[in-house]
Homo-oligomer: A and B are copies of this chain.
Amino acid sequence: MCELLGMSANTPTDLCFSFTGLTQRGGNTGPHSDGWGVAFYEGKGIRSFHDSSPSAKSEIANMVQRHPIKSKTALCHIRQANVGEVCLANTHPFIREMWGRNWVFAHNGQINNFVRRQGIYQPIGDTDSESIFCDLLNHVRDDLNSDVSPIDLAKYLVALANQYAKQGVFNCLLSNGDWLFTFCSTKMASITRRAPFGPACLTDADVTIDFAAETTANDVVSIIATQPLTSDEAWEVYQPGEWRLWHDGEVIAQGQVSIK
C-alpha cells in the first residue's frame, strides 16, 4: 500500500512541514520505501519531482523539504509497491494534459486484474494505478465537455470512483490545479487550518511548527492524508465511500456513496 498527501489552500503555501512528516514514512517510520513523488501547481504549470529511491533517504526529497515551494494545490505520494516493479515510470503522482490543463492523480490501494477503457490515454508504466487514471481520463473525455462545472464533474467522478472501489481499494487524489477531488475507499483524513492558528507537532519526526508565525489572518490551508500527520490536532476522518471536493482550502461539495 501507499500513503497520500494533498493540499488545498487559498494562498500559495509551502508543504515543507507535512512533506517532512510524510517522507519519514518512506523507509524510516513507515515501510513505503519504493519511491515517492510530488506535484506542485503554480498557476496552470506544475513543478513535479519523482524518485524511485526511498523518500527518507532521497537527496531530491531533502531538497524539497528545505526549499519552500509555494502552491495552492499539491499532491504527494509515497509508494510501497504491490503491482509493478520499482521504477520511475511506476512512481505517482501521474500526470496527463487534458483540455489544456495538467491533470494529476495519486492512488492508494489496489485493484487486481483491472481492465481499462481503451482511449487516448495509455499507461506508460505497469501499475494498476496508472491504468485506472487512464481509464478515468478516457471516460471523462468521452462523456463530458471541457466546460463541465467542477460540481458536475465531481458527481461523475464519484460514480466512477464508486465502480473502482467496488473492485478493490481506491483512495485517491485528483486535481486539474483548480479543484482537488478526494475519494476515500478505506482510509483518509483531513484538517483545515485557519485563524487563529496555533502550533502543531509531527507524528513522524521531532518537528513542531507555529503556524501563527507562518500565516496571515485570511489564510485557509487544508491537508488531506492517508493518516493524520500531526499528533496534537483534530483531524476529520473520512468514512468509506466519502468524497470531498476542495477549492481554495475549503470543501465546496461532499457526499458519501455505498461501496459495498
0/1 string, A34-77, CB within 8 A of B gives 1: 00000000111111111110000001100100010000000000
Q: Which residue of B lies closest to A98 (CB)?
A: B122
Within 100-143 of A, Cβ neighbours of B (below 8 Å) are at 100-102, 120-125
Q: A60-B67, A63-B60 are in contact. Are A124 and B96 (CB under 8 A)?
A: no
B88, A100: Cβ atoms under 8 Å?
no
* A34 CB to nearest B CB, Å: 13
Give the chain B neighbours of A99 by CB distance below 8 A.
122
Decide yes or no whether A230 CB sits under 8 A from chain B: no
Minimum distance in angstroms from A116 CB to a CB of chain B: 12
Q: Are B96 and A45 in contact (CB under 8 A)?
A: no
Partner of A91, one of B45, B120, B125: B45
Q: How many identical subunits does the complex contain?
A: 2
Interface residue ranges, A against B (CB under 8 Å):
42-52, 59-60, 63, 67, 87-91, 95-97, 99-102, 120-125
Q: Is the CB of A59 within 8 A of B63?
A: yes
Q: Are A97 and B96 within 8 A (Cβ)?
A: yes
Provide a sorted-by-A list of 22 A–B residue pairs whose CB atoms are within 8 angstroms: A42-B52, A43-B89, A44-B125, A45-B87, A45-B89, A45-B90, A45-B91, A46-B50, A46-B88, A47-B49, A47-B50, A48-B48, A49-B49, A60-B67, A95-B95, A97-B121, A97-B122, A97-B124, A99-B122, A101-B124, A102-B124, A120-B120
Is B124 a contact partner of A88 (Cβ separation < 8 A)? no
A8 to B42: give the CA distance in the assembly, Å: 31
> Which residues of chain B come closer than 8 Å to A46, judged between CB atoms?
50, 88
Asked if A47 and B97 sit within 8 Å, CB to CB, the answer is: no
Q: How far is the CB of A219 from chain B (nearest CB, A)?
A: 22
Residues of B near A49 (CB, < 8 A) are 47, 49
- Chain B residues with CB under 8 Å of A88's CB are 42-43, 45-47
Q: Are B100 and A42 in contact, with the CB atoms below 8 A? A: no
CA distance A63 to B62 in the complex (A): 10
Question: Which B residues lie within 8 Å of A89 (CB)?
Answer: 42-45
Residues of chain B lying within 8 A (CB to CB) of residue A42:
52, 87-89
Beyond A45-B124, A97-B121, A100-B122, list 5 extra A-B contacts (CB 8 Å).
A42-B88, A45-B89, A46-B88, A47-B88, A97-B122
